[in-house]
Each structure stands twice: as structure tokens, then as C-alpha cells.
Chains A and B, each alone.
Chain A
Amino acid sequence: DGGITQSPKYLFRKEGQNVTLSCEQNLNHDAMYWYRQDPGQGLRLIYYSQIVNDFQKGDIAEGYSVSREKKESFPLTVTSAQKNPTAFYLCASSITGRLKDSNQPQHFGDGTRLSIL
């Protein structure tokens, strides 16, 4: 079945370490997104990519980095500069970067929960 795979499901990080969250999709979607969700809150956009080798900052990009070397992959690195990284991270993809063009604007993965040791 086509879909989005996020791994790992749970991730622990020590203070001062960088950690990378994986997101892979086999939907042949052009656009991919990373969101952060804190307890009791909505999703906030970290980064998005509308096409391979291109990406833009979202609302809360500080302390994060991404790459988009392949269409199917959009890994997110949480750097040591992110002072409060404990959260639930959701990856999403869409057929195009223009979400008006599709009845299903975004497909979501199952998320990764990141905690600080």
C-alpha cells in the first residue's frame, strides 16, 4: 500500500545531541512537510519542500534543518540549537505544492515522539 513511513516511532535524545527523524513516502508526491505538535496544541509547520532540492522555512524553523535530495525522502534534523525539542513530529506529503489542486490536501505519517533524556 502507498503511504508515508516515519521512523522511529519513539526517539530519545541526550542534551546537546543532534538527532534525525526519517520520513519516506511512496506516493510519488512532489511536496513534503514537517509539523511539530505539542500537548493539547495544534500542528505548527517547521519546514516544507515543494520539489526535490528545494525547501522553505515554516513558522518555527529555528533549531531544525532538512534536506530533500530524493523525491521520496525528507529527513528532519533536530539540532542542539533547538532548546525545547520534546514534542510529537508529523510528516506529510501532497501531490503538488498547491494544496488547492487536490481533494486530499495532505497525507500524514503516524508520527515520531521525541523526548529528551
Chain B
Amino acid sequence: AQTVTQSQPEMSVQEAETVTLSCTYDTSENNYYLFWYKQPPSRQMILVIRQEAYKQQNATENRFSVNFQKAAKSFSLKISDSQLGDTAMYFCASLNNAGNMLTFGGGTRLMVKP
């Protein structure tokens, strides 16, 4: 069974600054996928970024990037130049080896302050 842990229930950041959200996971698989999802107040789940474990290069999507530390089983999300629209719940998730089930962490509520 996979587990995903997000140790920061809530965080805040000033607009235009940088914030890092933490995520650790546990899996026995050698090849796996990790994701960050955003859930704004509208409750829609939006994929932010994904990382394939066999790729050493950290994934980047515009202002969003990850710090993937495979040995430490750590997968943090960095948001640069934070914007008010980044205010949301952020969920880290891992994909099982069969590729058909996602396991989600408990989420981090991020508030971007003007």
C-alpha cells in the first residue's frame, strides 16, 4: 500500500514571494509517478504538475516546480511569484504500479496575501 503525507495543514505567503509545500511518500515500487493537484474554493481539482520517478530532472511548469528527492521519498512543490489566484488546497498524490489508482495526501491549505 502507498502512503502520502503532507505535514503542513496550512501555509501563507505574500503575493509575489516564493513558497514551498512539503510532501513525503512511501512506496515499494521502483517506477512510479507523483502529482500535485490544486483545489481552489470552487472545489474543482486541477493538475498542477507531474513527475516520473525514473526522470532525474525536476519537473517545471511555468511558476511551479518540484524538488524530487527520490532517496528521501520527498516531493515538494515550489510556487514562485505567488499570485492571489494560487490560493487553494494543494494535494500531493502518488500513482500505484498498475497505474490505475491515485493515493492522495491530506492536503495543504495555501493562502496568498496581498
Q: Report A's interface with B, CB cutoff 8 A.
A: 31, 40-45, 48, 50, 58, 88, 90, 92, 97-101, 103-106, 108, 110-111
Contacts and interface: CB of A to CB of B under 8 A. Distances in A.
Interface residues of B, number: 23
B104 interface: yes
Contacts, number: 61
Nearest 4 CB-CB pairs, A to B?
A: A42-B104, A108-B45, A100-B99, A98-B99
State the majority secondary structure of interface residues on B: loop
Nearest to A100: B99
A44 B47 contact: no
Given A40-B107, A41-B107, A42-B107, A99 B43 contact: no
B47 to A, nearest CB: 6
B2 to A, nearest CB: 11
B35 interface: yes
A111 B44 CA distance: 8
B106 A48 contact: no
Interface string B62-88: 000000000000000000000000000
